[in-house]
Structure formats: C-alpha cells, structure tokens
Chains A and B, each alone.
Chain A
Amino acid sequence: MPYEFEEILETIRMTEIEHFDIRTVTLGISLRDCHDRNIEVTKQKIYDKILHYGKNHVKNAKEVESRFGISIANKRVSLTPISIPFDSCSLEEYLEIAKTLDKAAEEIGIDYIAGYSALVQKGMTNGEKELIKSIPFALSQTKRVCSSVNVASTKAGINMDAIRMMADVIKQTAELTKDRDSIGCAKLVVFANAVEDNPFVAGAFHGITEPEVVLNVGISGPGVVLEAIKEAGNVDLQQLAEVIKKTIFKITRAGELMGRNVAEKNGVPFGIVDISLAPTPAEGDSIADILKIMGVEDVGAPGTTAALAMLNDAVKKAGLMASSSVGGMSGAFIPVSEDQGMIRAAQSGNLSLEKLEAMTAVCSVGLDMIAVPGDTPASTIAGIISDESAIGVINDKTTAVRIIPAYGKKFGDFVDYGGLLGKAPIMEVRNLSCENFVGRGGRIPAPMRSLTN
C-alpha cells in the first residue's frame, strides 16, 4: 500500500475528531471596470460581475469538500475596496452599492461579502470620506456586507484623523445595531498594514494589485495542533516546535490542494494559502487551549506572549515549506468571542485588554472581536486603535482592531451573536483619557523602518 495505515487514520482523525477544516475559500473579484456615471448602471454592473464569477462558488466548494472528505467552513467573496473604483460616489450612492452587494451575496448563497473598504493611511479623498461616513448605515442596513479601513502603514505612518473618524464610525455603528448587540461592529475592521490577498472576512478585500479574479484559501486547525501537542507529552520547546511544524505542514498541504481544486472548478487562478490558525467557538478548536497545553495556567499568565510567539513562528515555518503560495495574514488569530478558551480567560479576569495587546505584537491580526462597555468614549477607542496601529507600523506587520463598544452594556455583561462570531464578555477598559493626544489630529510620521532603500 502506498500509504501507511497510520497516515490514513491520522487524516481521518484530524477531519472527524479534531475539527480540521478549511476555514475559508474566498473568491476575490475586481470591480475596477464597474464604474459608470449613472449609479443604476454601476449597480447592475457590480451585481452582474459578482454573479458571473460567483454563481457556482458555493456549489463548487461543496463538491471539493465531498471529494476530499474535508469540510470548508466558509465560502466567501472579497471585492476591490469600494472607495477606489467608485470614488465619485456620494454617501447615498455608496449605500445603494452596499445594498447591491448584499443582494448579490444572497443570490450566490454566501453569508458574507467583504471589501466595503478604503485605504487611507496617508490621507483621504472626498470619496473615501463619504464611504467612511456611510459605513454605519451600510452595516446596519445590510446583513452580509463587511467593511474594513486601513488607517496606518509602515511606509505612510499613522493617520490619526482617519482613526478619530473610525472611532466615531464604530460608536455610531454600535448604536445603529443596538437591537442585535451592536453586531455591525463585528463586521468592521480597522487595519494597519492591511494585506491585499487576505481571504479572512471581515477584513478581506481584493487588493488593487490583484488580478481580475482570484481564489484564496485560509486554513484552520487549532484542534489538530492541540491534539498533536497533547500527544507529544512533556518534551522541550525545540521538540515542541517540531511537533507543531509537522502538523501545520500537513494541514497547509491539504489547504492548498482544496484551494487549487476549488479555483480550478471555478475556472479562476489560484492565489494564496493563508496559513493562519483560526479558532472557532467549537469546544477544542481554540488557540487559548493550545497555549494552556503548552504550559501556561491560563491565557494572560506571564509566558503567554512567548508561547504565542513560538506557536506563530512554527506555523509560518511549516507553512512556507508546505506551499510556495503563502500569503495573506499567515499567523495565529486570537479573536476573543470566537474562541472558548479566550472567552473563559476574559470572563475570569485572567486576560486583560493590555495583555491581549502585548500578544498581538507577536501574532497576526490584533485586538479582534473585543467587546467593551458601550459608554467607552470615542477618543478612548481611537487611542486603542492608535496603540494597535503603532505595534503594526513599528514591527512592519499587520494589526487590526475589531472592537465592539456594545451599546447599553457594561463590564461583566455579554454580547452573544451565535454561530462563528460567538459570544464575548464585555472587557474592562482603563478609565484614563487620551483625548488630548488623539485630539491633536494629523499623522504620526512613518518610522525609521520605512526608510529601507
């Protein structure tokens, strides 16, 4: 037999018991040719294009699932940042476009469509200002549209004006969706150094240097890593890194195979594998549990950041060996609401916002799915975003903030969305003002690191 008995059983165990799945296959579609001076024509062009490329996306992904016996959790679509091709639109027109995206997403049977975005790290055009102002309405009046705004980059610095604007947008979104625990904020990401080929929604968009259409895949599999570490027992850290690498190698290879097959069926080129470890609210599919099995008592204990750094590094090394098309975020995600272990740590008070911020310095993304009291001032949210941006800009990495100032809720309460978005305890925010700092406005200049030429 060309395969060992144990190898075959290992694959079955991964998919059937340890929650190994492909987190997302995301079809990136360029909308740059969809502009027209008549908004109705623009809308029709957008709708037709999404349907043209996306109509069989879900069906094709399902066929690949059954062919290989590995499930694909999410089938999604990302688009050119809407503010770029449609820069001349007004707030009302952007809103019309958002509704068109929602309708197209529903028609092709996907739960989220991302790319209601703007890239404003250096400054804003009039169109980008309009789009940003429209975000709270777009997110409250649609179900499937996700939005992201890039406010900082290593090359451009940190756009504090944009951050202040985004803090207001987040507050307003929370209020407009207060009847559903401020769910609009769960669909809105503020980035520093956003990547153009990220397949993970809500932060996905189809970058302007990307081709007409492309298929990117995001792997998952914290449960598989958890079991491998358990099985390895009491080994030293170098050996532990080896165990993690071997596991990630296998799941990355499977991810690439699945992605290439979905791309082929869709008749579009394959883009990248994003080797991020992404948890789900399912028990055992948790990054926090991995950190605990590595040896820290709970997430938040001293040593947590080091453990996470090691995990993240091993993931990257194995992924690079496994695939020549690694891209996207590629690291480990630590969203609070989507990870049972993180929820417990936040709830018990072991995990503070400050420790979480430190952890984001060594893994991908950032403060993700964090719920804070509804009365948190906009200036404080701006401060949190600027801290996170600074970590990204100085370390030349992606960071993001997906924060939910849950309207009407206070420390100790919960927001509960069910499904993949999960449930988040309201975390405590330090009651110290940064109003005078963020209120200065302007832009924090690009750091030394930007001058690499």
Chain B
Amino acid sequence: MKLKEEELRKITLDTIQELGTGATPEKVKEEVRRKIESSGGGDFIFKKGDVSSGRVILTSFGLNKPGIVAGVTKALGDSNCDIQDLTQKLMGDFFTMIMIIDISGSQKELKQIQEEMSKVADELKIKIYLQHEDVFRYMHRI
C-alpha cells in the first residue's frame, strides 16, 4: 500500500495534536513512523533501496583466465541477484562480459552489491562496473 502525501500530512498533524505540548520534532517523527509501520503503509518512506526498475548492467573486462565467470556469478548468487542475460566476447587475451541483472530480489542495495563486486574485481584483477539500466536506455534509445 502506498501512502499519498496528504494522508501522510494528516497522520503527522493528528500526531502533533495527540502529543500536545510534548511534541518535539523527534517524538513526532518516531510516532509517525510507528503508526505507518503498523498500518503496513511503509512504502512511502521506507521503501527498500532506490532502484526503480531493479535492473542493473554489469560490465567486466580484463585479462582472460580460468574462474572469472565463476567468481562473478558466485558473488551475484550469494547476494540473490538474478542474472537475466549474459554475453561475452574474447579479443585476443582480453575478455569482456556484460550481464543484465535483476537485483530487486536481493536483500542488498545497489551500493552494497557494487562494493562487494569491487572486492571480487580486485581478487580476479579485472574491472567490474555496475550501473543502473536507465543510463543505457537514456543514452542509446530514443
């Protein structure tokens, strides 16, 4: 359930009235949060993460060697990321791999996944970039 802005305002005003003279900004905030959580309308303020479509594009490249795909996919699997598409190319000793990943099922936010993948990149001595899909859609599609 999503709360409209007016509903949120009403809850806040009611809370201020209930608290009367004891209404400090902190108390009001806490009370409003409690009310919204108990009514199940947390989406408005407390939506998890900030990824709208939930799809990100992972690009990785570097010198080819065994275990790169395994290393990358294992880390993604551990974070409950769903690989929806994968393409890979080898040019001489260099490999490039691009994946489309849905992270909406993951308990982690994009930032956390980026941090973890950067550790994987260091271990494998490759480059890994994770970017929200929108940037590619905006730049390459009209």
Contacts and interface: CB of A to CB of B under 8 A. Distances in A.
Contact of A250 (B50, B87, B89, B140): B140
Interface string A1-13: 1111101111110
B139 interface: yes
B134 A2 contact: no
B130 interface: yes
A155 interface: no
B50 A254 contact: no
B85 A11 contact: no
Contact of A63 (B50, B96, B130, B139): B50
Contacts of B44: none
Contacts of B114: 66
Q: How large is the interface on B (under 10, 10 to 19, 20 to 34, 35 or more residues)?
A: 20 to 34
B135 A257 contact: yes
B47 to A, nearest CB: 13
A11 B131 CA distance: 10
Given A4-B140, A12-B59, 7 more contacts: A5-B96, A66-B114, A67-B51, A69-B129, A69-B131, A70-B135, A254-B135
B111 A68 contact: no
B121 interface: no
Given A63-B50, A63-B111, A253-B139, A8 B98 contact: yes
Given A5-B98, A254-B139, A68 B134 contact: yes
B46 interface: no
Given A8-B57, A8-B98, A9-B59, A257 B111 contact: no
Interface string A248-289: 001101101100000001000000000000000000000000
Contacts of B135: 11, 68-70, 254, 257
17 contacts: A1-B85, A2-B100, A3-B140, A5-B87, A5-B98, A7-B136, A8-B57, A8-B98, A9-B59, A11-B131, A12-B59, A68-B135, A69-B130, A70-B131, A250-B140, A253-B138, A256-B138
B89 A3 contact: no
A55 to B, nearest CB: 14
B81 to A, nearest CB: 16
Nearest to A69: B131
Contacts of A251: 139
Nearest to A261: B134
Contacts of A254: 135, 138-139
B89 A5 contact: yes
Interface string A66-98: 111110000000000000000000000000000
How extensive is the interface on chain A, given as a class? 20 to 34
Contacts, number: 67
Contacts of B139: 7, 11, 250-251, 253-254
Given A9-B59, A11-B139, A66 B98 contact: no
Contacts of A12: 59, 129
Given A66-B110, A69-B130, A69-B131, A3 B57 contact: yes
Nearest to A7: B140
Nearest to B56: A67
Interface of A: 1-5, 7-12, 16, 63, 66-70, 250-251, 253-254, 256-257, 265
B138 A257 contact: yes
B98 to A, nearest CB: 5
Interface string B49-66: 011000001010000000
Instruction: Give 7 closest A-B pairs by Cβ, nearest first.
Output: A69-B131, A68-B135, A253-B138, A257-B138, A250-B139, A7-B140, A1-B85
Nearest to A257: B138
A265 B89 CA distance: 37
Nearest to A258: B135
A44 to B, nearest CB: 18
Nearest to A12: B59
Contacts of A66: 110-111, 114
B136 A8 contact: yes
B132 interface: yes
A10 B57 CA distance: 13
Contacts of A7: 136, 139-140
